[in-house]
Structure 1
Amino acid sequence: MIRLLALLLTVATGFTLAPPVSAQEDRARIGNGNTVLELRSTTDVAIIRPALEAFVEQNPQLSIEYEQWGSNALYADSLAACAGEEPSADAVFSSAVHQMVALVNGACARDYQSEATLNLPSARRWRNQLWGVTEEPAVIIYNSALLAEENVPRTRFALLDLMRNTPLSLAGRIATYDIESSGLGYLFAYNDSLEATTFGAMLEGFARTQAVATCCSAEIIGAVSEGRFLLAYNVLGSYVANAAPADVGVILPEDYTLFLTRGYMIPRQARQPQAAGRLLDFLLSTQGQTILRRAGLIYAQDPEETALLPSARRAIALAPPLLVALDRSKSAQFRTLWRTAFAAIALP
């Protein structure tokens, strides 16, 4: 560990911080009903729109005011709403589920039960106040035209070997999420630190290859497709499925693959809680889940992919242990170690 920290501190001297991103990234009005359901979410509007359109078609008296946010900004907004400092959404839907668990733990959510919610597995519901709607893997992606097939890392051990053996050719060509600006990136990295015996070595390898920590999914995927990055680590698979560039290959790491379920919460101050519950039930219904699967938000394994063994699936459960990730002392230590390994800069 001393050697790791020395190396990280050495390579960190030239790193700079990224400029802050704007809070609200996009918005859309869906439907024409007089009763307006305000939904704040980290999910791209284009990805979730088909499900929301199908919902308002069945509920023509409703319309949805959809706001797309970055995960950290959405968490801050939800905390302010919980404290009565800002108007509340009627539903919050976020990929940064550690933040969602914290909101529920802070008495910011209201109860809701239905047959659909009670039928969810325990890992996808907590306290009848938080529900997991999707099932999405964290994957490795690579430029299939530039990275030779024999060098494609199908496990973290293989990725470590690649970084050790070819650090010069990989210099500045590996990317992942910036945990400073991405709550999802923090969640994946923190879970890696708990799961993987390789985590310390991975940070050392990222430092040696001058890996880039950046934002966000679309930009990372685009940069891999264009060859600015050769590969990217811990990218949310649903965004890759939606972008679907022909020259981007996808690997579900065979040592283990993290699976995220996006959390849905009805805030305590919601003005339309019944409509929010109705939307939740639709998203969990057979029709809703089919639409989400088509959108890539529920993992459906490609027949050409190597089958991922059940033992390699690691579900990130909606449960109190996620609160540890937000503990101030642990979070500060983790961020300090991570920050020394990455240049948190914007894509060129």
Structure 2
Amino acid sequence: MRRLGELALGLAHLGGAAVCEPMPEATKSYGPLQAEVHLTVRGTTDIALFEPVLQTFVTRSDGARIDYEQWASNDLYLATVAECRSSSATADLVVSSSIDQQIKLANDGCAAPYRSDGTARLPAVSNWRDEVFGITWEPAAIVYNKSTIGSAPAPKSRFDLIDLLRPEDSAFRGRVATYDIEVSGLGYLFAFADSQQATTFGRLIEAFGRSGAVATCCSAAIIDGVVSGDYLIAYNVLGSYALARADENPDIVVVAPDDYTLVLARAALIPRRAAMPELAGEFIDFLISEPGRSALRSANLIVDTNESVHAAMRLPENPDVSLRPIPLSLALLVGLDQHKRREFVARWQAAFPKERDRESAD
């Protein structure tokens, strides 16, 4: 993890060469080990969260096995690009929270089309060219721990968060965490979306820089810090991960911000050279079917944002106005333009000149 003021001024273009060959963080198989057919699924969803969904599909399939690989988002993108450009073996299905990267893969010719009665019923925002499919419904949330936040007013919006960070002697100094946009594809996606949503973005990153907020890799690590008390507040993390932790710890509160709440649908695509495209299509159909959606709800990967069905969830007062789903569209490619990326990170960094000056003096 790093203080936000330590982020590098430029971001390497994700299509460029990687320093090390991208590798999965963890792997696990489901179904008969001697199965004649097996589906290789690569995803950014933590195994612990996605496991019930994978197990449900396997029990409903005819003797198939799923080999699931858990990846960091940027590494998954780089690996998929490399396989698309070569003749090497690929995964059969790629599921990523970095939906902008998924759209770019499809736009660059790296995805195979898939059509079924189920995909035809998806709304346009969840089906891009019959190549990229939105399968979840996850709000980007503010998360805090009731046992550690003390008497401070709980934030319900970005305005509240800015106010909490404003005092020089703020109890939240150095104890607010968000994504490191340099290493997290999802973190970059959310931050760029924030910059397009409201004028609060500039004030928010300025408050983060001034108060020594922490940037780290991923939802699970950030939420672990809130649970342990290392962080008092997590910003823009996936509500699905936070609700899973709230099932274990009733002190965890998950807030869909009142000013606006970004909502993400993880995106699935079948790589162009997939060995088992038909089985991958069956898995997509399962995920968007009622049994699949029920399994996703049980895993908190589909979050009801109109009615509070989870004790830990705090919904906006007016969901119809506040909820802002991120559609699957070419507009997502704007933030991936190399010039735009550099420009955005430069804007991000400009909020922290004092931190950079002080660190360079050391």
Structure 1 length-normalised TM: 0.90
Deviation per CA, 1:237-276: give whole Å up to 9, x if none: 0001112222222111001000000000001101100000
1:1-348 pair list within 5 angstroms: 12=5, 15=6, 23-32=23-32, 33-84=35-86, 86-148=88-150, 151-165=153-167, 167-244=169-246, 245-300=249-304, 301-303=307-309, 305-306=314-315, 307-339=317-349
Deviation per CA, 1:75-101: give whole Å up to 9, x if none: 000101111154211110000000000
C-alpha displacement at 1:229, in angstroms? 0.9
SS in 1 for 2:273: coil
C-alpha displacement at 1:55, in angstroms? 1.3
Q: Structure 1 residues 21, 204: closer, same or farther in 2, change over 3 A?
A: farther
**CA RMSD in angstroms, aligned pairs only:** 2.2
C-alpha displacement at 1:308, in angstroms? 4.5
In structure 2, the gaps of 5 or more residues are 9-18, 356-362
Deviation per CA, 1:10-34: give whole Å up to 9, x if none: x94xx377x9997311101111121
Structure 2 length-normalised TM: 0.86
- Decide which moves more: 164-173 or 118-127: 164-173
Q: Structure 1 residues 311, 65: closer, same or farther in 2, change over 3 A?
A: same
C-alpha displacement at 1:60, in angstroms? 2.7
Partner AA of 2:344 in structure 1: F
Partner AA of 1:298 in structure 2: I
In structure 1, the gaps of 5 or more residues are 1-10, 344-348
> How many positions carry a matched residue from both structures?
331
Q: Structure 1 residues 228, 326: closer, same or farther in 2, change over 3 A?
A: same
SS in 2 for 1:88: coil
- Decide which moves more: 331-340 or 264-273: 331-340
- Decide which moves more: 274-283 or 242-251: 242-251
SS in 1 for 2:275: coil
- Decide which moves more: 111-120 or 240-249: 240-249
C-alpha displacement at 1:222, in angstroms? 1.4
Partner AA of 1:269 in structure 2: R
SS in 2 for 1:66: strand
